[in-house]
Amino acid sequence: MLTALPDYRHAVALDEPFRPLSAPAPAGELELLTSLALRMLGDDPWVGRFRLPREAGDRRRMLRAVLTVREPAPLDPELVAVLDALLGGERQQRPLTNALTLPAPIAVWRGDITRLRADAIVNAANDALLGCFQPLHACVDNAIHDVAGPRLRADCRRIMTLQGTPEPTGTAKITRGYHLPAPFVLHTVGPIVRGNLLPAHGTALADSYRACLDLAAEVPGIRTIAFSGISTGIFGFPKRPAARTAIGTVRDWLATRPGRFDRVVFVAFSGEDETVYRELS
């Protein structure tokens, strides 16, 4: 049975502010914390089969890979504190863009969605809703989980355990954002297009956008929301018709609820994405 927000809100402590176990570390300590986290994860097979790389960047990529493939099992509090200091410190080093500085009510912004300060960002998820398990895979699902930290996957597991079935296409769930600059993450599963684009694909994609807006509207603190390109990556939905559906659906939703959101942002990762969104918006 599909779970609604009241069914899992308490389980993921949605209304509680995120309180990390450690303060953000200064830039000079990030390499040391990366190595420490890898040593503390020494029993993990992804660490155990390799020697620790000499270069700091390689060690950080290894840590990212280990956390990507790791199941959402509990972590030792000491390790969580190390990861909190590391992820919090990395967040402080990233330049961020505030969604409220973008045009209202609908904006197009090219960049990394994990560097946008919005109240909620939308993750293009798969039906397991646990993130991408492919190490270093360049998808938005992986990027969001990497920056948020392992608590995000743990929350998604709690939701999916309560639901007991894969997440249907065109629906949405919400969790806290943890180390992301966005306090909340909306997770939605868009349609998969293999072969010809059919009207049903467009209907399902519109459902995903509406589900995210409807769910975000249930959380009073969400006034700005940013969408990644749902289904336009490995799910195969062509970018131009996907952007047309996204923009039209958001405009129709806002027309029936004027003033509910201060900004809705379409995040374009590439120049091609940006061109398509701007031509259609």
Beta bridge partners of 266: 108, 227
**Same domain (yes/no): 74, 208:** no
**Same domain (yes/no): 266, 134:** yes
**Same domain (yes/no): 72, 136:** no
**Same domain (yes/no): 151, 72:** no
**Same domain (yes/no): 37, 73:** yes
Q: Determine the pLDDT at residue 93.
A: 96
Which single residue is written with the structure tokens 């960047």? Answer: 57
235 is a domain residue: yes
Paired tokens of 245:
């559906």
The tens-digit pLDDT sequence of the chain (281 residues) is 678 999 999 999 999 999 999 999 999 999 999 999 999 987 766 666 555 556 667 889 999 999 998 889 899 999 999 999 999 999 999 999 999 999 999 999 999 999 999 999 999 999 999 999 988 899 999 999 999 999 999 999 999 999 999 999 999 999 999 999 999 999 999 999 999 999 999 999 999 999 999 999 999 999 999 999 999 999 999 999 999 999 999 999 999 999 999 999 999 999 999 999 999 98
Q: Determine the pLDDT at residue 55.
A: 67
The radius of gyration of the chain's CA atoms, rounded to the nearest angstrom, is 19
190 is a domain residue: yes
Do the Cβ atoms of 260 and 214 come closer than 8 Å? no
17 is a domain residue: no
The residues, ordered by sequence, that sit 6+ positions from 279 with a Cβ below 8 Å of its Cβ are none
Domain extent, residue 153, equals 5-12+96-280
Ramachandran bin of 115, using left for φ above 0, alpha for ψ from -120 to 50, beta for the remaining angles: alpha
Do the Cβ atoms of 183 and 221 come closer than 8 Å? yes
**Same domain (yes/no): 78, 100:** no
**Same domain (yes/no): 186, 60:** no
- Note the pTM of the prediction, 2 decimals: 0.95
85 is a domain residue: yes
**Same domain (yes/no): 68, 136:** no
**Same domain (yes/no): 77, 112:** no
**Same domain (yes/no): 88, 108:** no
20 is a domain residue: no
CATH no. for residue 273? 3.40.220.10
19 is a domain residue: no
21 is a domain residue: no
d(CA 162, CA 12): 11
Q: What is the DSSP string of the chain?
A: -PPPHHHHTTTTTTTSPP--SSPPPPGGGHHHHHHHHHHHTTTSHHHHTSPPPSSHHHHHHHHHHHHHHS-S----HHHHHHHHHHHHHHHHHS--EEGGGS-SSEEEEES-GGGEE-SEEEEE--TT-S---STT--SHHHHHHHHH-THHHHHHHHHHHHH-SPPPTT-EEEEE-TTSSSSEEEEE-PPP--SS--HHHHHHHHHHHHHHHHHHHTSTT--EEEE--TTSSTT---HHHHHHHHHHHHHHHHHHSTTS-SEEEEEESSHHHHHHHHHH-
192 is a domain residue: yes
**Same domain (yes/no): 166, 179:** yes
Q: Give the tens place of pLDDT for each residue, 42-74.
A: 776 666 655 555 666 788 999 999 999 888 989
Q: How many domains does the chain have?
A: 2
**Same domain (yes/no): 129, 88:** no
